[in-house]
Amino acid sequence: MKNPGRAPVLFLHGGAGNWDGRRAAGAEAGCREAGMEAWRGLDAGGPALESVCHAVRLLENDPRFNAGRGSVPNRDGDVCMDASVMVSGNCEAGAVAEIRHFPNPVLLARAVMEHSPHVLLFGAGAECFADEHGFDRCDPDDLRGEDEAPDHETVGAVALDMNGRLAAATSTGGRRGSLPGRVGDSPIPGAGVWADRHVAISCTGIGEAILRVALARHVSVLVARGVAVREAAEEAMRELERETGSEAGLIAVTASGAIARVHNAAGMATCVVLDGETHTACLADS
């Protein structure tokens, strides 16, 4: 049911990194298209979880982004994707890592959360779970992105729905040339994804750095203590930069509808949908 007292918010990102002008425009367009489509359900009173999964599925299907179709290969030339979802309430979470044969890892992550007692399934076990739950396999060659595509286009979404529920989702093809078996931050609650009753967060950037400082959890702890989300995100990013010297970015939305977009990379493709209006950014300051 629609609760007109609470304005929903949908916020998407298409990755932080060294976007150039032409690709930045394409990434902004991709985020806008996905945002407009996934907004409809939220505007009709649908749950935040549905909306973030819809948005991330569309971004996974868009070969302009390093997630799902368009993923970068690892050192051995293989595509290995990771994804996660998390919802407010009891901090429920689901995630998959090292997915090679399914085009929409975010849907597998959601299935892990909803239909298994576990949080994170990896590799062959995760793919077996996907088979058992009726997901269709695809040819891994259909997932591999263009050879020259950079590896910074992890995708993610956060949302607040009309009933005050928060959700976050993150999906990635990882980092080009990584060692086989490498898992980044994207499928790890507290690192590349977070949602509790205060705030939902999706991160992007150098996964090793994000893991080392538990970037998303750092933001959430500050927000729970009453720090404004923008300040909390800036403080957590300062720590990441100080401790690791690396690049990252994040988007966040709180239970009161406040949003934050913070990164220390050259750009981060984003689109926020408020009242049905889309507002995109990529090379602009956060």
- Is residue 70 a contact residue for ligand ASP (CB under 6 A)? no
Q: Tell me, what DSSP letter sits at residue 65? A: S
> For residues 8 and 173, which CB has a smaller minimum distance to ligand ASP in the complex?
173
Whether 244 is a known active-site residue: answer no
Please report, as residue ranges, which positions from 3 to 32 form the binding site for ligand ASP (by CB under 6 A): 15
- Is residue 84 a contact residue for ligand ASP (CB under 6 A)? no
Distance separating alpha carbons of residues 28 and 23, to the nearest angstrom: 9
**Of the candidates 74, 104, 171, 204, which one interacts with ligand ASP according to CB under 6 A?**
204
E strand or H helix that includes residue 224: helix 215-224
> For residues 192 and 267, which CB has a smaller minimum distance to ligand ASP in the complex?
192
CA dihedral 65, 33, 58, 50 (to 10 degrees): 130
**Of the candidates 172, 254, 270, 286, which one interacts with ligand ASP according to CB under 6 A?**
172
**Of the candidates 152, 165, 198, 263, which one interacts with ligand ASP according to CB under 6 A?**
152
List, in sequence order, every residue forming a beta bridge with 205; answer none if it has no partner.
248
Residue 208 tokens read as 């090793």
- Alpha-carbon dihedral sign for residues 253, 258, 259, 262: negative
Pick the piece of the chain touching ligand ASP (CB under 6 A) from 6-14, 41-49, 123-131, 180-188.
180-188
Shortest approach of ligand ASP to residue 236 CB, angstroms? 15
E strand or H helix that includes residue 51: helix 48-61
- Is residue 51 a contact residue for ligand ASP (CB under 6 A)? no
- At position 69, the amino acid (one-letter code) is R
Distance separating alpha carbons of residues 99 and 127, to the nearest angstrom: 7
**Of the candidates 74, 84, 104, 154, which one interacts with ligand ASP according to CB under 6 A?**
154
- Is residue 186 a contact residue for ligand ASP (CB under 6 A)? yes
Q: Which residues form the catalytic set?
A: 154
